[in-house]
Amino acid sequence: MRILKSGLIVLVFSIHFPLFSEEKSDFDHVRKAVVQIKVYSQAFSTFTPWATDGVRASSGTGFLIGNKRILTNAHVISNAKYVQVQRYNQTEWYRVKILHVAHDCDLAVLEAEDPEFYKDSTELSLGEIPELNSSLIVVGYPIGGNKVSVTRGIVSRKEQSKYEHSSVDSHLVLQVDAAINPGNSGGPAIQNNKVVGVAFQVATKGENIGYLIPTKVIRHFLKDIEDGRYDGYVELGIGTFNSFNTSLRKAKGIPEGLEGVFVTRILPNGSADGYLKEGDYLTEIDGLAIGRNGTITLDKDARVDFTETVDDKYSGEPIRFKVFRNGKLIDVEFKAKRMPDFDFMRNRYDTPFDYSMIGGLLFQEMTRDLLGAWSRSGNTSGGSQFLYRYDYFIEDGIGRTKKADVVLYRKLAHPVNSSSDYFLNLVLESVNGEAINSLADLKRIIGESKSKFLKLKFLNIDLPLILDREETQKADSQIRSTYGLE
């Protein structure tokens, strides 16, 4: 599955059910609310953190939802330097300001700076989740033209799926049988004159499969920002295993006919940490029965993963389970909360990447962005250690005591670092005996050090890297000039 930075459009050619009344005014109302978005963006470079990528032009779609707000996808305006908007029948482009961005659910709210933009505009209201096999239209500005476009589609599935913009978060999506074209990301899907979803990504396998963000997720985002800031989704923080195996159920003493799932792990600092236990058998969440495959009934059309119930909550709201533990059914209740530990696993936008250089050796905290840049660099030899730690940083409890792994991911060649290749792609454990639990630790220790030598100890490597502190400082000045870091 992938998102298209220029946007998406949902197409289907065989459906002809009416979605509006035949009166022209119905569609006039919609197109006066739909917005074409033009974006000039410039991303920060992960592998070369002192530089930025080139300026890129792209386009997308949004729509007015009241109070001068324009709703669109976060990926449409990520890393934006300049954003303009225009509505149907307008000839001027208007600059906007970005009010709120939610990268974990790929939504954003904008506002035009000039009141003239809103002249003779309308706004769209949110509807409910549409039924399977029901028809809808998607309105927007696909690439290749500057006129509003209308296409038709059918809702073919409701499920939880990964949102590619963050590459980590999963929320409810609506699948439509659709051909996808760039340019329509952020465009509204309309049914019965109301918005039922926002076009945002496309399946890379299969044909005519597109996805919409449903209004359930949109409402969660809009409620979150009511206080003027976006806090983000809470996380249950557990791993589970289905209970299809009859022998396993008997071995665990699960009563016949009692459906549910087994808890296999508890992630540190998650909502369930300290309340649920490994081996627990979850049978209900908030009064909803959990099936042997870990699903609950969303509506008459679909069953979704039981964690969808947690997705509806905000920080501090209660999560209630009925749990079979030690031969008894018990009630367990705790409050929902965010997991900051997850933040480093998301794709990152709009902010530069911090780094430290010691004698031409480049260090960063391991993030998803660095991992991607590192894999594309081709110099990946010996990186299995931090790959493992990245995948299990939270699950193995490393995150309880460490903010992040700091890795030596690259060197800028200079005589002072000529013998350091052995240590590339390793996790830095300590410098001069002081533990490195974040990049800030490394910067502080190097900045305060008065020692003749710097002793860099790497994880699971007995032999340290020894550098002359004064020589590395002199070399860094030359390296910055030679490689254009200044």
Residue 272 tokens read as 């369930």
Using an 8 Å Cβ cutoff, are 271 and 319 in contact?
yes
- Amino acid identity of residue 299, one-letter, is D
> Could you tell me where the DSSP H helices lie in 184-225?
215-224
- Amino acid identity of residue 428, one-letter, is L
Using an 8 Å Cβ cutoff, are 231 and 315 in contact?
yes
**In the block, which residue shows the tokens 């769209």?**
124
What is the dihedral angle through the alpha carbons of 40, 46, 51, 57, rounded to the nearest 10 degrees?
Answer: -10
**In the block, which residue shows the tokens 């905000």?**
314
Cα separation, 263 vs 328, in Å, equals 16
Residues annotated as catalytic (active site), given as ranges: 75, 185
**Using CA of residue 294, residue 269, residue 173, residue 226, what is the dihedral sign?**
positive
| Pair type for strands 209-214 and 356-358 | unpaired
Three-state DSSP at 378 gives: coil
**Nearest C-alpha neighbor of 96 from the set 26, 201, 164, 186:** 186
**Nearest C-alpha neighbor of 100 from the set 200, 214, 224:** 224
Cα separation, 417 vs 28, in Å, equals 66
Number of Cβ within 10 Å of residue 97's Cβ equals 9
